[in-house]
């Protein structure tokens, strides 16, 4: 028989499996041929192949490949726990962005027990068990197989109609759709990282479970590199740096609702000032809508039916209100305050609005996952023939913002989900998707198509930024919406005098302002460029007699709108410098008798390089240009060789 791999025709014996094909193609190293896709469906490698099958192998370099690798590893973890703690009850164990976790009921352990569990997991891997897929004829049979585990029974009850399957490895069996690795020899490095508490199904009303996190790789060097990465990420933790630099904080009196301190608010204002400058250049107008609106509005927008559990509500004079979880409906009301002509389109309306969304307490994470945040939304109303040009303009805006901050990015286009789960006609979807694709093609940046991953109301472009640790963060989104203009009966007057429905784009550039500042904190490790730094200059007076000169320098620096302060404490100069370095101040200007006499300063930069004596005018000239140009590199610092 013949099968096809990447359009190459391969001859195989009848009854050959995916494993046989992988061996024939020499895809046997641990990171290759983890599973396969046939006609859009993922399968284990042990599946028998049919004549003319078109096959795609999944490797560890692909997201789907990692998910299969890590989900198999989660099953290894669960098996190890049950060998050591037979009374524990496994619940769920999914792959996550980096690694996997498994939640257990009736398991009381401490961090010290992780090493013992890890050793047992490695023993199981060494046994080279081969996971076997088991399919049940119905829910009754599946429940019988897991009758001693009420959590698995609850999962089975929630399953939709279709095949219910499990994977068996040795004495251990677990519910799973699959696919899995064909053998544990693929797992060359396995490490348990930490444990925490987690509520069953993420609901605080349910019982607390024990969650164990782990990671695995097809190469020991990859594990070593990942652990090094974790150490670096720990140093860059925005919660730690935010506290050390007095930027922001999260207090128990307002869980998930950040406090921004003076330095953090300075950065906030500078970032939004730049964003507003970019938007003004593109003819945006800005609005501000109420934070609380009537229930009827949210029913009209659809949020009440589909997002109610994440919304905060209140009753005022017997009327039910909701605090907005999104800015969109308020902007729809603004659009309807007047009639719009086609001549005035596109209409670009921005709002940096405060929204609130209820997140489970266990999901909160610094500025990355909060309950109150500001979204840099905009809604662009246009005619269908303006879609491509507006998308290109948005991509240009995104690139300008991200490049200024030294952030590279990748693009993803998500297309129509299953037809029965979307609104709009085939023609509208085809036109909207073509508009996005044509814009991306003309823009020229590479992109990935995620088939069927769009929203029910329109296709979208997601932009993922890459930070200095090569982590990706999804911030900007460009979303075509065919729902809200319909729900709010939005119209414009066309050239023939008829009323037409506008096409609308939702877009964010930085997304959540809070989250974006957290990302920047970790990207720069707190070493912010001068234009964004909350305290880029500190003048260090050697003694009290130098304080007046230091204050004079500080005044001149502030006149250039560059924040600075003076350290005239009684500490030693070396201790003052050390304090400034811990605060990650860009420039330390020391002034003593010599500098006062010569009207100069002694410059030391954040990288601990002493540049010596120079005139104040020379220093101010250079840092003034550095600020205006929003430079990422100090004119006094030498770039580090890679």
**Set 460, 538, 546, 604: catalytic member:** 460
Q: What is the mean pLDDT of residues 279-299?
A: 94
pLDDT in the model for residue 500: 94
Contacts of 318 by beta carbon, 8 Å cutoff, 6+ apart: none
Q: What is the CATH number of domain 248-289+324-524?
A: 3.30.930.10
**Set 176, 328, 331, 475: catalytic member:** 328
The answer to whether 379 is a known catalytic residue is yes
More confident residue, 474 or 174: 174
Domains of the chain by residue range:
2-59, 64-235, 248-289+324-524, 290-323, 537-628
The answer to whether 169 is a known catalytic residue is no
Nearest CA to 90 among 239, 237, 212?
212
| Predicted structure pTM score | 0.84
Q: 562-579 burial string, b = 16+ CB within 10 Å, else e?
A: bbbbbbbeeeebeebbeb
pLDDT above 80 (res 203): no
Question: What HEC string does 89-151 produce?
Answer: EECCCCEECCEEEEEEECCCCCHHHHHHHHHHHHHHHHCCCCCEEEEECCHHHHHHHCCCCHH
The answer to whether 377 is a known catalytic residue is yes
Segment 348-363, tens digit of pLDDT: 999 999 999 988 777 7
Q: Which fold has domain 64-235?
A: 3.30.980
**Set 66, 238, 356, 379: catalytic member:** 379
**Set 53, 103, 376, 377: catalytic member:** 377
Segment 629-638, tens digit of pLDDT: 999 988 987 6
The answer to whether 460 is a known catalytic residue is yes
**Set 79, 375, 390, 479: catalytic member:** 375
Of 64-68, 95-99, 400-404, 434-438, give the lowest mean pLDDT range: 434-438
pLDDT in the model for residue 404: 95
**Set 506, 515, 523, 606: catalytic member:** 506
Band (pLDDT 50/70/90 cuts) for residue 3 is confident
Q: What is the CATH number of domain 537-628?
A: 3.40.50.800
Q: What is the CATH number of domain 2-59?
A: 3.10.20.30
Q: What is the mean pLDDT of residues 608-616?
A: 92
Segment 419-433, tens digit of pLDDT: 666 666 777 788 888
Contacts of 401 by beta carbon, 8 Å cutoff, 6+ apart: 274, 275, 278, 509, 510
Domains 2-59 and 537-628 share a fold: no
Q: 220-237 burial string, b = 16+ CB within 10 Å, else e?
A: eebbeebeeeeeeeeebe
**Sign of CA pseudo-dihedral 467, 472, 473, 477:** positive
Dist CA 251 CA 254 (whole Å): 6
Contacts of 275 by beta carbon, 8 Å cutoff, 6+ apart: 376, 401, 509, 510
**Sign of CA pseudo-dihedral 277, 282, 285, 291:** negative
Q: Most confidently modeled of 324-338, 404-418, 455-469?
A: 324-338
pLDDT above 90 (res 331): yes
Dist CA 174 CA 44 (whole Å): 16
The answer to whether 328 is a known catalytic residue is yes
């Amino acid at each position: 028989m013949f099968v096809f791999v990447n359009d190459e025709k391969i001859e195989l014996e009848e009854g050959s499996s995916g494993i046989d094909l992988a061996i024939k193609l020499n895809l046997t190293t641990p990171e290759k041929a983890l599973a396969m896709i046939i006609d859009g469906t993922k399968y284990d490698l042990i599946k028998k192949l049919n004549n003319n099958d078109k096959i795609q192998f999944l490797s560890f370099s692909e997201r789907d490949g990692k998910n299969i690798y890590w989900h198999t590893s989660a099953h290894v973890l669960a098996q190890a726990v049950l060998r050591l703690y037979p009374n524990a009850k496994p619940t769920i164990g999914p792959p996550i962005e980096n690694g996997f976790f498994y939640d257990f009921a009736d398991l009381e352990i401490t961090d010290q027990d992780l090493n013992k569990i890890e050793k047992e997991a490695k023993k199981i891997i060494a046994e080279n068990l081969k996971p076997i897929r088991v399919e049940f004829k119905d829910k009754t049979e599946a429940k019988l197989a897991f009758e001693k585990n009420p959590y698995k029974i609850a999962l089975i009850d929630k399953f939709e109609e279709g095949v219910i399957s499990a994977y068996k490895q040795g004495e251990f069996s677990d519910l799973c759709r699959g696919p899995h690795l064909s053998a544990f020899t693929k797992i060359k490095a396995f490490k348990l990282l930490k444990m925490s508490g987690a509520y069953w199904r993420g609901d605080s009303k349910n019982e607390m479970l024990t969650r164990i996190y782990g990671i695995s790789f097809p190469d020991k060097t990859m594990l070593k590199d990942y652990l090094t990465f974790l150490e670096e990420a720990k140093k860059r933790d925005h919660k730690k740096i935010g506290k050390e630099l007095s930027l922001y904080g999260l207090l128990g009196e307002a869980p998930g609702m950040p406090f921004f301190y003076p330095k953090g608010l300075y950065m906030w204002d500078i970032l939004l000032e730049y964003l507003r400058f970019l938007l003004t250049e593109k003819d945006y107008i800005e609005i501000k809508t109420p934070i609380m609106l009537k229930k009827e509005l949210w029913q009209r927008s659809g949020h009440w039916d589909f997002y109610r559990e994440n919304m905060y509500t209140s009753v005022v004079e017997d009327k039910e209100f909701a605090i907005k979880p999104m800015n969109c409906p308020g902007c729809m009301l603004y659009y309807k305050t007047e009639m719009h002509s086609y001549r005035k389109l596109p209409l670009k309306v921005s709002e940096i609005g405060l929204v609130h969304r209820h997140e489970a307490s266990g999901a909160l994470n610094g500025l990355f996952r909060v309950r109150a945040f500001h979204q840099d939304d905009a809604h662009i109303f246009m005619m269908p023939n303006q879609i491509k040009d507006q998308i290109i303009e948005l991509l240009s805006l995104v690139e300008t913002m991200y490049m200024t901050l030294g952030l590279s990015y990748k693009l993803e286009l998500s297309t129509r989900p299953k037809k029965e789960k979307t609104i709009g006609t085939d023609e509208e979807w085809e036109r909207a998707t073509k508009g996005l694709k044509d814009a991306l093609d003309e823009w020229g940046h590479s992109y990935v198509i995620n088939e069927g991953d769009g929203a029910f109301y329109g296709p979208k472009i997601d932009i993922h930024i890459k930070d200095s640790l090569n982590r990706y963060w999804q911030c900007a989104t460009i979303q075509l919406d065919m729902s809200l203009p319909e729900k709010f009966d939005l119209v414009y007057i066309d050239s023939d005098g008829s009323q037409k429905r506008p096409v609308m784009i939702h877009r964010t550039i930085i997304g959540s302002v809070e989250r974006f500042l957290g990302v920047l904190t970790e990207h720069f490790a707190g070493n912010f460029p001068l234009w964004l730094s909350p305290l880029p200059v500190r003048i260090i007076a050697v003694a009290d007699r130098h304080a007046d000169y230091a204050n004079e320098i500080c005044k001149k620096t502030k006149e250039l709108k560059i924040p600075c302060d003076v350290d005239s404490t009684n500490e030693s100069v070396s201790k003052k410098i050390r304090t400034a370095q811990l605060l990650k101040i860009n420039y330390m200007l020391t002034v003593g008798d010599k500098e006062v006499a010569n009207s100069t300063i002694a410059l030391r930069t954040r990288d601990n390089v002493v540049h010596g004596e120079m005139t104040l005018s020379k220093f101010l000239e250079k840092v003034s240009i550095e600020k205006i140009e929003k430079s990422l590199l100090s004119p006094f610092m030498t770039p580090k060789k890679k």
